[in-house]
Amino acid sequence: MGHMMIPSLSLPEHGGVLVASASSSLRERVLHSFHERRWPVQEAMGGADALVKLESGNWQLLYLDRCLPDLDAEELVGIIKRRFPGIEVVVLDSDHGQVLPLANGARPTPLERTQKILSAPAAAQDAQRTPVPSSGVARDEAKEEASALLEIKEEKEDKRDTRELSQPLPGMIGNSAAMQKLYRLVRMVAPGVTTVLITGPTGSGKELVARAVHKLSPRTARPFVVVNCAAIPEALLESELFGHVRGAFTGAVQTSPGRIAAAQGGTLFLDEVGELPLSMQAKLLRFLDQKEVQRLGSSEVMRADVRVVAATNADLGQAVDERRFRGDLYYRLAAFPLDLPSLAERAGDIVPLANHFLRTLTPAAMGAPPLLSLEAGQHLEAHSWPGNVRELLQVMERALILADGGRMIVPEYLYFPARGGARR
């Protein structure tokens, strides 16, 4: 790619530039150009990383490499234009230094109207900025008015889309800002085949998120198969995942297809993936790359159409640094990362969740569930919740038993284990 020339563009005081590419040389050139102008610039290694950064920051301009390592650039442009209509998007061809047309019918940005080729001569850029002759002023004003009306219509549609994206996922409760961000990201990634890595503390609901990804995908009618990597002995893990034929090892009295084959056409959920032994990590990486399965004791190789969603409460980045987890597998699994907040980080969801548990736990014979008193709700919100949503479920289950058919849950019915500075 020739020398990259970033066109002149006035940015507001607040906001910045994001460049998303797997090419370090492309990122460096964009970074260098904007560094000279003292504009805040950040890098994203791929499409998923770009979406996460767009959700958590204030951006004005996105340089997007056409060749992304994880997501399809055209689909990503459509998502960004719907979800972040105020962001300028410039699609780059990292091989030829070109600015490409925006996909999915998106209208060209002002930046694209001023420059089509990043490496174009300055004279050509000046020609593209030549004013329209005065004879065309009326026509241009009509176009601008029509464009303004179109933008108002699209803004209304964007607001509706945002509300729909932010609705709670199937089986999940909570409308805090952190959860709405999670809902949006899940709905963005669910329709595709991208591998998803769900991280978060124990008891935060990682399997619920994985099930939501599956349910909102085109694979919803196919199997959702769960493998708890920490619960299966290492000696049996390969057989459980990949299957075996009869006689493959002592005790193999019949052929087993394995969990991957059982998830054919659907989703394989690898819970506690950080507990995988290194020997299995290499085999899982090969499966993710080749989409092929070979059963123990068999020479036959079978194709597998399976989407993988993984989850862990461990810091896999640290595990990679300590050589306990393969770096190549980590980056393959984390094509689209989803980070679940702890219950303490979503305090506004605690009382709605408690009431939801009371409704689901109350036997039908008891009729309406008991009410949560104001004081009990305040006690719940003041607790640190080291066990997250799972702990809240257990607290409400015990409170319902202590209520003994009563119509109100009061603070005396709430029991918190001593861990984490809780009360009894």
Q: Which DSSP helix (H) or strand (E) runs through 100?
A: strand 98-100
Q: Which two tokens stand for residue 407?
A: 């119509």
Quick one: 335 and 348 in the same domain?
Answer: no
Same domain, 292 and 235: yes
Domain carrying residue 328: 177-339
pLDDT at position 11: 44
Asked if residue 99 is part of any domain, the answer here is yes
Per-residue pLDDT for 106 more than 80? no
Q: Is the CB of residue 273 less than 8 Å from the CB of residue 261?
A: no
* Strand-pair category, 301-303 with 292-294: antiparallel
Pick from 102-116, 181-195, 236-250, 407-421: least confident: 102-116
Q: For residues 196 and 52, give the distance between their C-alpha atoms in angstroms, rounded to a whole number.
A: 13
Same domain, yes or no, for 205 and 321?
Answer: yes
Instruction: State how far the Cα of 236 lies from the Cα of 259, in Å rounded to an integer.
Output: 12
What's the pTM value of the predicted model, to 2 decimals? Answer: 0.67
Give 353: exposed, middle or buried? Use CB within 10 Å, 0-12, 13-18, 19+. buried
Q: Same domain for 187 and 310?
A: yes
What tens digit of pLDDT does each residue of 299-325 get? Answer: 788 899 999 999 999 999 899 999 999
- Taking CA atoms, 314 is separated from 149, 198, 275, 386, 389, in Å, by 50, 11, 9, 15, 18
Residues whose CB falls within 8 Å of the CB of residue 275, separated by 6 or more in sequence, listed in order: 229, 230, 314
Angle, alpha carbons 415-419-422 (nearest 5°): 45
Assess whether 283 and 408 both reside in one domain: no
Residues 322, 244 share a domain: yes
Considering the domain architecture, whether residues 225 and 203 belong to the same structural domain is answered as yes
Is 416 a residue whose pLDDT tops 50?
yes
Measured distance CA(126)–CA(83) in Å, rounded: 33
The answer to whether residues 227 and 323 belong to one domain is yes
Q: What is the mean pLDDT of the chain?
A: 79
